[in-house]
Amino acid sequence: MGEKDLSEMVINDMKVEDLPEILAIENASFETPWSETLFYNELFKAVSVTRVARIGRRVAGYLCANIIIDEGHILNLAVHPDFRGGGIASRLIEEIISVMRAGSCRSVFLEVRVSNETARKMYEKFGFALLGTRKAYYLSPVEDAVVMVLRLT
Ligand SMILES: CC(C)(COP(=O)(O)OP(=O)(O)OC[C@H]1O[C@@H](n2cnc3c(N)ncnc32)[C@H](O)[C@@H]1OP(=O)(O)O)[C@@H](O)C(=O)NCCC(=O)NCCS
């Protein structure tokens, strides 16, 4: 899809009705996808910030994050394979960074598979820097996580 199609994109809070489409994207995107219960819990946690990007009636992407005192944590982000490369994840990240700034976060943290170069490049574009690694953090396949941080102050 081209950049122009982003003018049709709407970003809202995640709702229970979005979960079936979100789970389909999640299953198409990760080796160890989140369960419906994990997403469901995020909808009701006080520290949770969730967003869904829609193009027309379709869910095109989503992001789950938490704000814990002055730390932001990006927990999950995926874009439907049909809509990748069109700037949707970038818009979701911009949105969440602005929520975190407004919420007085000093830093934003995330973990990503070492081999996920697309995501690592994307986060670097937003100024995230390598903080360290967590050994064998992921299962199926077992892989280290890269921990990245964006300082907001
Ligand atoms: C990672 C993902 C969310 C990116 O979504 P997207 O909407 O395609 O991303 P965008 O179009 O906003 O691109 C953002 C940046 O990512 C990087 N990127 C995107 N697609 C890329 C590709 N095919 N190859 C290399 N880098 C790529 C680029 O840096 C890009 O910025 P640019 O367009 O200015 O060069 C999407 O590929 C996805 O859902 N992947 C599977 C799930 C996943 O890995 N989630 C992240 C886990 S932490």
**Count of other CB atoms within 10 angstroms of residue 100:** 23
Give the other-Cβ count within 10 Å of 58's Cβ. Answer: 12
CA of 78 to the centre of ligand 1 (A): 9
Residue type, 28: A
Q: Which atom of ligand 1 is nearest to the CA of 79?
A: 39
Assess whether the C-beta atom of 86 lies below 6 angstroms from ligand 1: yes
The answer to whether the peptide bond before residue 33 is cis (omega within 30 degrees of 0) is no
Residue whose CA lies nearest to ligand 1 atom number 25: 118
**Ligand 1 centroid to 119 CA: how many Å?**
5
What are the structural domains of the chain?
A: 3-111 (3.40.630.30)
3-class SS string, 41-108: HHHHCCCEEEEEEEECCEEEEEEEEEEECCEEEEEEEEECHHHCCCCHHHHHHHHHHHHHHHCCCCEE
Q: What is the DSSP letter of 31?
A: S
Q: What is the pLDDT tens value at each position of the chain, 153 positions in all?
A: 544 478 899 999 999 999 999 999 999 999 999 999 999 999 999 999 999 999 999 999 999 999 999 999 999 999 999 999 999 999 999 999 999 999 989 999 999 999 999 999 999 999 999 999 999 999 999 999 999 999 998
Q: Whose CA is nearest to atom 31 of ligand 1?
A: 122
| pLDDT at residue 75, as a whole number | 98
